[in-house]
Amino acid sequence: MAADKLALDLALVLPGVPDERDACVARLTSLLQSEDIDQAHVIREDGKARLCLHYDSERISLAEVRQLAAAAGTSISKRYVHESLRIDGMDCPTCATVIEHALARIDGVLEAKVSYAAERLRLEFDSEKTSHKAVKRRIEALGYQLLELHAHAGWWAEHRELVFSLAAGVLLLGGWLGGLAGASNAVSIGFYLAAYAVGGFFTLRDAVQSLWAKRFDIDTLMLVAAAGAAALGHWAEGALLLFLFSLGHALEHSAMDRARKAIEALADLAPKTALVRRDGAEVEVPVEELLRGDKVIVKPGQRLPADGKVVEGTSAVDQAPVTGESMPVEKGPSDAVFAGTVNGDGVLLVEVTKLATESTLARMVRLVSDAQTQKSPTQQFTDRFERVFVPAVLIGVVFLIAVPPLLGFPFADSFYRAMAVLVAASPCALAIGTPAAVLSAVARAAQLGVLIKGGAHLENLGRLTAIAFDKTGTITEGKPRLTDIAAFGATENELLTLAAALESRSGHPLAQAIVTAARARGLNWSEPADVEAVNGKGIRATLGAQRIEIGNLRLFAGEVISADITTQVERLESAGRTTMLVRVDGRFTGVIGLMDTPRPGVAAVLTELRSLGVANTVMLTGDNERVARAVGQAVGLEDVRAGLMPEDKIAAVASLVEQYGQAAMVGDGANDGPALARATVGIAMGGAGTDVALEAADVVLMSDDLGKLPFAVGLSRAARAVIRQNLFIALGAVALLIPATMFGWAGLGLAVLIHEGSTIVVVLNALRLLTYRAAPKAGAIA
C-alpha cells in the first residue's frame, strides 16, 4: 500500500480560527477521517500550525485530498462562526456575567466570553442552530446594545449614566433645599422619589437582570439598602446612596473609557482610503477594497494604508505605531512596510501584500481586543470570592435584622444598620480593580510595540525569575555571514556551489548565509533531488549523480572523520565560528565556517533584567559548545546550554519551569515554536509582519529589538503591584466599613461615600499604567 502525507497551512484551511486549540480543528480532523483520509492531525513546522493528512495514494489522489480538505474547511468555517463584538451599556462587572449566562442558554452558542473592562464579547456559535441576529436580540432584550468591533456608541451612550446621576443629584439637592425652606414634607419626598427613580434607573435594570440570571450582585445590594432606607423614612439618605452610587459608576466608566480608547486608537491608525495606480491612472479607493498586487502611492507625511513591499522610492518610515521603534527606519525597494506607519520625506510606491483585514496592525488590534476577554488568575480568584461573599453578606444581613430585636434592640436601628452593612460589604472596587489594571497595562504595552495576549500572561511575566534565550536571532543578530572555506580536493567555489545547492532548500539562517555568499560570487547551481532535512543536524540530497551531505558534526556521528577535517573544525570553532562539513559520495571535501555576531546592547538588556529581579538567564542553542561559550561570554551569559536538538530545548525549558516554578522562553517565534509553547510565557521577537510569531507566542515584541523585553517585564511587574494595591484598597475598605456600620459608627451616607471613593481610587490607580515608562527598578511607575 502506498502511504503518503500532505501538510497544509491550518490558517488557510480554517481562516478565522484563532489557533489549533480551537474546537473547530477537532471538528475538521474528525470530518476528514470520516472520508477517505486515513489520519488527520495537527503538527507544527517552522512554528506554523499545519494540518497533516495521511492517505493511500492508490485509493485517492493528491488533488482529491486537497479538495477534501478545502471543502471540509469551508463547511466548518461556514457552520461554526467566530465573532469579536463590542457591547455597550454594561455598568458593572456582573453585567458581563449576566450576558454570558444569558447567551449560554441559547441553543447553538458554543462560547460566549465577555470582558466588562474592554466591553468585548468573544463569541462562537453553530450557524445551523442560531444566528448573529438571535444573539443580538438576546443582548438587546437585556438592555444592552451590540456594536461591531471598534464602532463608536455615540455621545449619549457614553454619557447617559453621568447625565442621569447629575439629574439625581439636582433632585436630591432640591428635596434638601425644600426642607430647609419650610416646604411641605410631601414636596421634599416628591423630590427624593424622583431622585430615586433617576439615580436608580440603571441600578434597577442591572439588578433585575442579575436576579433573572439567579445571581445576587452589587446592584441588588444597593437597591435593597436604598429601599430599606425609604422604609425607615430616611428618604434623603436613600437618595444620597443612589446618587453617589450612580455617580461613582459614571466616573468609573469615564476613566475606563480612557483605557479602552487607548486600544481603539490603534485601529484608527490606518487611513480610510488609499491612492492606487490602476490602468495607468491614479484613483482613491477605500482600504477595504485594496487587492493583493495593487500599487499604492504614499506621499510624504502620509500613513501607509496596507502591509506591502516598496517597489519604487526611498524614505524613512516611522514604525513606532506598530513596532514601538523610536527612530524612523530607512525603506527602499523590496523592503517590507506596515499599515499605520508614517512615511517620511520621500514618495513610495508600495505593492500591497496583505488585505486590510490581514495587516499586521489589524491582527495586532484584534489580538489585543481578544486579550481582554481572557481573565487573569487574580480576576478568576476575585470572581470566585464574590460568588461566595455576596450571598454570605445577604445571609449575614438577614441575621442582623432578625437577631438584635429579639435581644431588645430597636428594630428600626437594627434594620438601618443592616442596610448600611449591605453598602459597606458591596465589593465594587474588588470587582473592577484587576480588570482595569490588565486593560491599562495591555493597552500601554501595545502602544509601545509589545503585544501581551491576556491577563494570565501579563501576571506570569511579572512574576518571572528565569528566562531562557535562543541564541540565533535573539542573542545574536540572526544574520550569520560566511567567513571561512577549507576545501579538500575541490576549489572553494566548487565546494560553495555544492553547499548552496542544498542549502537553497532550507530557510535556516545559516543556510541562507551560504546561499547569499554563493550568489555574491556569481555562482549558479541546479536543483537537488531527494532532499532530506535532518532536524538540528543538516541536510542530504542528490545533485546530478552525486550524493551530497552538509551539516554539523552530529550529522556524521559515529563515522570516521580525517585528522585534516577535525583540525579545521577545531581551528574554526576555537575562533568562534559555527562549522558545517560537506561530504560528497562518502568523502569529506571541506569545512565551511560562519559567524553570527551578538546584538548590540544585549549585555545591557540582561543587566536591566537582573535589576528587575530576573536573576536566572540561560542561553539555549544547537550550536557547538565553543561557539556558544564565546557568544555567552561576549554578552555576559554564564549559563550556556549548547549542542541542543529542538527536543532538547523543550526539555531544557521544562527543567527551568520545574526548577524555578515559572520560566519564559525568548525566540523568533518561527523555529522555536515548541519551546515557546512549553514555557510559562513564550516571548517572540520581530512580530511585525510575521504571522508565525503573532500566533505562536504569549507575548510578542513587534520590533526585532530585545531592548523591549525589560520594558515588558517592568510593565508586568508594575501591573502586578497595582493589582495588589487595588486588592488591598478594596478589601481594606470592606474590612473597615463592615464593623463601622455594624456597630453604628458610620451611617449609609458615609458608607456609600467610602465605597464609591475606593472604587474610583482603584480605577485611577490602574490608569497610571497607561503612562508607564521603563523604570529603574521593578514595580516603579513613571
**Positions marked catalytic:** 470
Q: What DSSP state is assigned to residue 60?
A: S
Spatial separation of the C-alpha atoms in residues 187 and 192, rounded to whole Å: 9
Length of the chain: 782
Cell for 137? Answer: 436580540
Of residues 354, 324, 357, 364, the one with CA closest to residue 341: 324
The residues facing 56 across adjacent strands are 3
Cell for 93? Answer: 462587572
Of residues 306, 360, 353, 288, the one with CA closest to residue 298: 306
Spatial separation of the C-alpha atoms in residues 201 and 744, rounded to whole Å: 29
Residue 509 · residue 472 · CB < 8 Å: yes
Spatial separation of the C-alpha atoms in residues 104 and 210, rounded to whole Å: 15
C-alpha pair distances (Å), 342 with each of 278, 329, 348, 499, 635 = 23, 10, 11, 41, 34
Cell for 601? Answer: 546592547
Spatial separation of the C-alpha atoms in residues 466 and 659, rounded to whole Å: 9
Spatial separation of the C-alpha atoms in residues 720 and 459, rounded to whole Å: 6
Residue 558 · residue 524 · CB < 8 Å: no
Residue 598 · residue 631 · CB < 8 Å: yes
Residue 699 · residue 453 · CB < 8 Å: yes
Q: What are phi and psi of 669, to 5 degrees?
A: 85, -20
What sections of 492-601 are H helices per DSSP? 492-503, 509-520, 563-574
The span from the first CA to the last CA of the chain, in angstroms, equals 67
Of residues 110, 739, 781, the one with CA closest to residue 425: 739
Residue 262 · residue 281 · CB < 8 Å: no
Spatial separation of the C-alpha atoms in residues 176 and 243, rounded to whole Å: 14
DSSP secondary structure letters along 254-302:
HHHHHHHHHHHHHHTSS-SEEEEEETTEEEEEEGGG--TT-EEEE-TTP
% helix / strand / coil in the chain, to the nearest 5? 50, 20, 30
Q: With b meaning 16 or more CB within 10 Å and e meaning fewer, what string describes 738-775?
A: bebbbeeebbbbbbbbbbbebbbbbbebbbbbeebebb
Amino acid at 636: G
Spatial separation of the C-alpha atoms in residues 259 and 312, rounded to whole Å: 39
Give the contacts of 452 (CB within 8 A, at least 6 positions apart). Answer: 371, 441, 442, 445, 446, 458, 461, 698, 699, 712, 716
Amino acid at 378: T
Q: What DSSP state is assigned to residue 482?
A: E
Give the contacts of 650 (CB within 8 A, at least 6 positions apart). Answer: 674, 675, 678
Q: What DSSP state is assigned to residue 771?
A: G
Residue 469 · residue 602 · CB < 8 Å: no
Kindly state the helix (H) or strand (E) to which residue 350 belongs, with its residue range: strand 348-352
Spatial separation of the C-alpha atoms in residues 658 and 468, rounded to whole Å: 13
Q: What are phi and psi of 18, to 5 degrees?
A: -60, -45
Cell for 575? Answer: 575562533
Place of cell 500566533: 695
Helix, strand or coil for residue 137? helix
